[in-house]
Structures are given as C-alpha cells and as structure tokens.
Amino acid sequence: MDKLFPFDPEALVYKWPVDLWMPEANIFLTLYQTPHFICSLILLISMFFLMLLALENNNYWYSFFAGLIGLYWFNFHPFYAPYVFAILFFYLLFWVLKTKKIKLIGHYLLMVILSLPFIFYHYYKIKTDLVIGIRASQNFLPSSPFLFVFLGFGFLLIFTVISIIYLIKNKEFFQNNKYIFLVIWLIVGFVLAYSPIFYQRRFLQGLQIPMVFLTIILIFASKPFLEKYKIWQNKILLIFIFVILFCFSTFFNVIRDLYYYQIKLDKFYLPNEYKEAANWLAQNNINNKIILSYELNGQFIPGFVNQKVYLAHGIETIFYQTKREKVLNFFANQFSQEQTKEFLKSNNIGYLFYTDLESKYAQLMPAEKDYLKKIYSQGQIDLYEVIN
C-alpha cells in the first residue's frame, strides 16, 4: 500500500485517493472521524441555504442569520471564508445579471460584514503572536495531484460531468438557478483547491454535495433507460450497482479500522499503564518540565494530562521540522554525550517517556546513560528523569 500510494514528505502530499484518508473530501469520513468537520459541514450547508433563500425572497433576515453563522464558523475555521465568499459572489453576480436587481448585493454585503470580525481577529493574532504565526505558517495543506482527487470522487465526479452535459444539451441548465449554483460551487471549489493558497485541500470540503445532487438528477433522467432493461424494477440489482459505484471506499475505511482494532494498533489501543504513567507525571512534574518521547506518544500525553511535550502534532508544535529532526537524532543516539546534555538542558526537558514504541525503533539505551535515571516502571512504560 505504501509503495502504491506513497506519502511525499518533501511536498507534504499523500499520493493516494482522497476518499481513503481526507475527511474534508469525503462525507462518510467527515461523519466517521471528525466532529469539528461535522460542525463545519453543517454550518456550510446552512449558510448556503440561507443565502439562497435571501436572494430568492429578497429577505434580509436570511442574509442576517447567514452572517451570524459565518461569524461563529470562521471563529474556528477561518480558512473557509474565501471559499464561501467566492462561491456566493459568483452566484450573486449571475443572479444580478439575470434579474437586473443591483440591490441584491446588499444581502451579500450584510453576510460578509457580519462574518468578518473573527477573520480580522485571526489575522491580527497571526501578525502579532509568534506562536500563532508559526503555527499558521506550518499549516501547509496542499491538495493531492488531481489524479488522486479524481480517483477519490470516482464515479460521482464522472456522473456529475455527464449530468451537466445532459442539462445543457436539454436546455434545462439555465432554467433552474439551483443548477447554476451547484456548478458554481463545484468550479470555484476545484479552482481554490489548486490555487496558490497554502491550505488548498481544505477547499475540497463539501464538494461531494453538489456532485450528489447532480448525480441524482442524472439517475432519474436515466429512469426510462433503466426501466426499458428491467433494471429500475430490480431493487437488489440497483443496490448492488450503487455499492459497486459509490461505496467501495466506505467499505475499505471500515474494514481497515476493524483490522487495526483487531491487531490492537497503537493509535487505537493503549495499555492501562499508559494513562497511569501520564497521571504520575501530572502529580510529580511540579516544575512543569518538558517531556520527551517519539511524536506519536507526544500527541497522546497532553490528551491525558495537562503536561508539556517537546514534539507532538506537526502543526501545533512550533519549529516542528527542526524539533522532529532533533528527536530522531536523539533516539538514534547520534548526539555526543555533551550534545545530548546541552539539548536536554537548553529545552528544559525533565523527563523521558519511554515505551515499547521507543524501545522498538530507538538505538538509544536510556538505562546506560548517566544523565537519565529510571523513576517509574509499569508494564511496557518506563519514565526517566533527566539528571542535571
């Protein structure tokens, strides 16, 4: 699998279909894995729905509440502001050209103005707060090559293109404004996903929604053909075709995780002594010293107890690449004793969190180091204190 769909560490890109790993691009993965993306998707749909109602009914209450949704949403996901603003701008432009009602721009302006405060706040924090600024600069999320986006959306994208061609050919496309909105949503989303913005992949969120609507239109347009060959009446066959065309990645994701649970992968199962060791640190690390471990353990420890770690999540850890290289060199025993002591002292590292993960991959033997003292041992967890 790694050879077929590799990860390019230089470009920070996964070269495998997006429906297998990217929650933003796949509604099932959104619902399956990430509560904050569930909330984000609900707010996206609600904001679009209210703005469509505002333009159709010329009712400012709708655009007012759409703006309030944007105000709340952009507080925790500000990077979706250009996504929403661009899609609604081009749809508004179409609507104004069609109806000649310039005053409809007021709905868009109201929505944007109400949405802006937290965008300004995040911009201010990025420019004035060193930690926030570095975290933002590390939040580099390029889109995968289009081949893997295409494979991820699969037949849904193919049927969407066929549906658009069908609507244009049958002169239905410009008769329904909602068709226009769905296509604008798709085009703007894909353009932003490959625009010179450092968090491109975020703009794939929700693109399955217009694809689903357009595919449904095509399915019902194909009903006479399906009835002719007795396919429409055969519900079992219809379900089988649906599964083949649209559900393979869903089965893959579920079966993969069932397998991971079965083999007790570290990300899914942690021994009971893991939390006990973390609690011991919380009670005894009274000087709030930094805890050193491999990256995976560094991600778990703050989740159990309010303790600082040297290396954890790639975006949340400032100067991540530099720290990651130092940790790898430390556990590979590449530092001299003087370099190691300086590394530990200069970074205020007080404890080494040593588990079967570290013992499996590290060349460092902490029990042999005179600057490390074992102070806790339980099961496969050893804690070492750094001795000055």
Can you give the pLDDT at residue 3? 44
H helical segments located in 4-104: 27-33, 35-57, 60-76, 81-99
Residue pair 218/211 in contact (Cβ under 8 Å)? The answer is no
Tell me what pLDDT residue 174 has: 83
Q: What is the CA radius of gyration of the chain?
A: 26
Q: What angle do CA 380, 382, 384 make, to 5 degrees?
A: 165
> What's the rounded Cα separation, in Å, for the pair 344 and 387?
10
Domain boundaries, the chain: 7-216, 272-386
Which among 296, 303, 294, 310 is positioned nearest to 350, based on CA atoms? 310
pTM: 0.88
pLDDT of residue 137: 87
Long-range Cβ contacts of 7-11 (<8 Å, 24+ apart): 11/142
Spans in the chain with pLDDT lower than 50? 1-7, 9-11
Return the pLDDT at 270: 81
Q: Identify whether the C-beta of residue 63 lies closer than 8 Å to the C-beta of residue 46.
A: no
Side chain identity at residue 349, one-letter code: I
Beta bridge partners of 372: 386
pLDDT at 268: 78
pLDDT at 13: 65
Backbone angles phi, psi at 286, to 5 degrees: -70, -20
Q: Which helix (H) or strand (E) holds 378?
A: strand 372-378
| 121 dihedral zone (left: phi>0; alpha: psi -120 to 50; beta) | alpha
* Nearest to 38, CA basis, from 27, 22, 50: 27
Q: Using a CB cutoff of 8 Å and minimum separation of 24, what contacts does 156-162 make?
A: 156/208, 156/211, 156/212, 156/215, 156/246, 157/211, 159/211, 159/214, 159/215, 159/218, 159/219, 160/186, 160/210, 160/211, 160/214, 160/215, 160/218, 162/218
DSSP state of 2: T
Question: Which alpha helices (DSSP H) does 229-317 contain, by range?
Answer: 235-246, 248-262, 272-284, 295-304
Residue type, 358: E
- Yes or no: say if 165 and 115 are a contact pair by the CB < 8 Å rule: no
**How many angstroms separate the CA atoms of 48 and 57, rounded?**
14
Count of all residues that appear for the chain in the document: 388
* pLDDT for 12: 53
CA 175 from centroid of its chain's CA atoms: 36
Tokens standing for residue 348: 């205020």
User: How many C-beta atoms lie closer than 10 Å to residue 330's C-beta?
Assistant: 21
Provide the pLDDT for residue 7.
Answer: 47
Q: Distance between CA atoms of 164 and 90, rounded to whole angstroms?
A: 18
